[in-house]
Amino acid sequence: MAQTRPIDPDEIRTLFSSAMSEMYRNEVPQYGTLIDLVRDVNEETLEADPQLHARLSAAGELERLDVERHGAIRLGTPAELHAIGRMFAVMGMYPVGYYDLSVAGIPVHSTAFRPIKHASLERNPFRVFCSLLRMDLIDDPDLATKAKEILSKRRIVTDEAMNLINRAESEGGLSPEDAASFVRESMETFRWHREATVDADTYNRLHDAHRLIADVVSFRGPHINHLTPRTLDIDAVQRGMPERGINPKAVIEGPPRRTADILLRQTSFKALEEEILFAEQEGKGKPGTHTARFGEIEQRGVALTQKGRDLYDRLLRQTRDAARVGPQGEGAGEYVDELERQFSAFPDSYDKLLREELAFFRYRANPSNKPLQPAECIEELMTSGALVADPQTYEDFLPVSAAGIFQSNLGSDKQSNADASGNRNAFEAALGCKVLNEMELYASTQEESLQHALAVLGQSHLSR
C-alpha cells in the first residue's frame, strides 16, 4: 500500500489560519465587525484607484490580501517558546527578527514566526508575533519566583499535538488526515479560557507588578490576544471604527500617510474587559474581570534597506522627542502634525526609493518588451519596460509601533522612549536556534528576482 505523501506546509498554514480566524471571530465578536470594515475599505480603495489595483495584481499581492492575518501571543517560559517554535515550523513559519519591548517598559522580548520564501508569502503570509516574559525585569524577586512556580505546572501544547509535531519532524511532514488533527489540537493552545489558574490575591499581585505579567501567568495557555487583518487605507479604517461602535486608539502607529507606503502602520481598538473566574482555595470560582484581548488593523508598505531604516528611525525619534501623546490621547493632533513635518524629508515615490536605495524591490521580466539586442545597463531595461521593479511588502514588525499597540492594549496611549535592555542571546537559547535577519531575506529576494528576470530577458551579462 502506497504511503500518503505529506501535504505542503503552506497548506497546513492556511488551514491553521482559517481555523484561528473562525475561533477568534466566535470569541471576540468585534473582530468580525473589524473584518467587515476592512473588507469594505479595501474594496472601495481598489475601486477608486485602478492604478493601485493594477500594481497589486501584477505583483501577486491581491490574492493574499483577504486571507492575510497576523496574530500575537505571550509566553511564560523558555520551554514554551521552544515548543511553539516547533509547532510553527510544521506550518512553514520560522522566527524572523528580534524585538526588545523594554523600550516601552514592557517586560518581554519577541520574534515573528512567518513564512520566508516569496512563493509561500504569496500563498498565505500568516505570521504570529510571539513574546516571551522576561523574569529578570520583574522587580519583586518573590513575585518572580511565584510566577515561575505557577508557569512550571502548565503545558500549553496538548500531548496529541506534540505527537504530531514529532511525527512531522521525523517523517518530513504530515498526511492530510494528520494535518487536520494537528490544526484541531493546536487550536487548544490558543483558545481563550475564562477560568484563571490563580486566586484573586495572586492575580492582583501580578497585575500590580504589570498587567501583562498577569495576562501571561494567570491562565492555562497563551490565548491569542489579537488577530490582525491588512487594509489598503488605514486612515479610512480609523475614521470608520467609531461609526461601527468601535473605539480606536488615539494615533496610528508608524509613519504618516504617504503616496509610497513604507514599512508598517498599525491601529487598534482598546482591549475588552472580560469576565473570568479566579481559582479560590475552597474550589469555587470567584468572579472577576481581565483585560487583554483587542482588535488591530495594519497597513503594510515597502520594506526598507538599512539606509532607509536608519533614516526612518531618525525621523521617528525626532518626532517623538518633539511631541508626545499622553495616556488619554492628549497631544495626538500635535504628534500627527510633527510626524508629517519630520517625514517630509523621506522621499515619497517608489522611483526615488529605488534610485536612492532606500527600499527593497522584487524584479520581474516583461517579455513583451524583451529587447532584441544586449542592453547596456539595467536602467535601460527598466526605462523600456522590459524590467519591472515591484515594492517588496514589509513582512515584519516595528519595536516602537508594537510597544505603542501594547500600551494601548494596557489602557494607555502614552508613548515611552525608555532605554532598551534586550537579551537576544537568552531569547535564542530558549528558542533553540538563531532568529533570521529580515534584511538578509529582503536582499536575497531582490537579488534572486533580478537574476531570474535578466535570464528571462536574455540579459544575464548585466548580472552584478
Given a cut of 70, whether residue 326 has pLDDT beyond it is: no
Q: What is the pLDDT of residue 31?
A: 87
Domains of the chain by range and CATH?
Answer: 9-300+394-433 (3.10.180.80), 305-348 (no CATH), 359-391+441-464 (no CATH)
In the chain, the amino acid numbered 309 is R
Given a cut of 70, whether residue 404 has pLDDT beyond it is: no
Percent of the chain with pLDDT over 90: 66
Q: What is the pLDDT of residue 464?
A: 60
Given a cut of 80, whether residue 418 has pLDDT beyond it is: no
Given a cut of 90, whether residue 433 has pLDDT beyond it is: yes
Q: What is the pLDDT of residue 232?
A: 95
Lowest mean pLDDT among 289-298, 325-334, 393-402: 325-334
Model-level pTM? 0.91
Rounded-to-integer distance, Cα 353 and Cα 303, Å: 10
Chain position carrying cell 489595483: 53
Query: Which residues share a beta bridge with 96?
Result: 112, 436
Rounded-to-integer distance, Cα 100 and Cα 108, Å: 7
Among residues 307, 310, 305, 319, the alpha carbon closest in space to that of 255 is found at 319
Buried b (16+ CB within 10 A) or exposed e, 117-141: ebebbebbbbbbbbbbbbbebbeee
Where residue 249 falls among pLDDT bands split at 50, 70, 90?
confident
Q: What is the pLDDT of residue 398?
A: 86
Q: What is the mean pLDDT of residues 63-86?
A: 93
Q: Over the stretch 253-308, which tens digit does the pLDDT of each residue have?
A: 899 999 999 999 998 877 778 889 998 766 677 888 998 777 889 999 999 999 99
Q: What is the pLDDT of residue 309?
A: 95
Burial of 3 from C-beta contacts in 10 A (0-12 / 13-18 / 19+): exposed
Q: What is the mean pLDDT of residues 420-445?
A: 90
Q: Could you tell me which residue, 457 or 103, shows the higher pLDDT?
A: 457
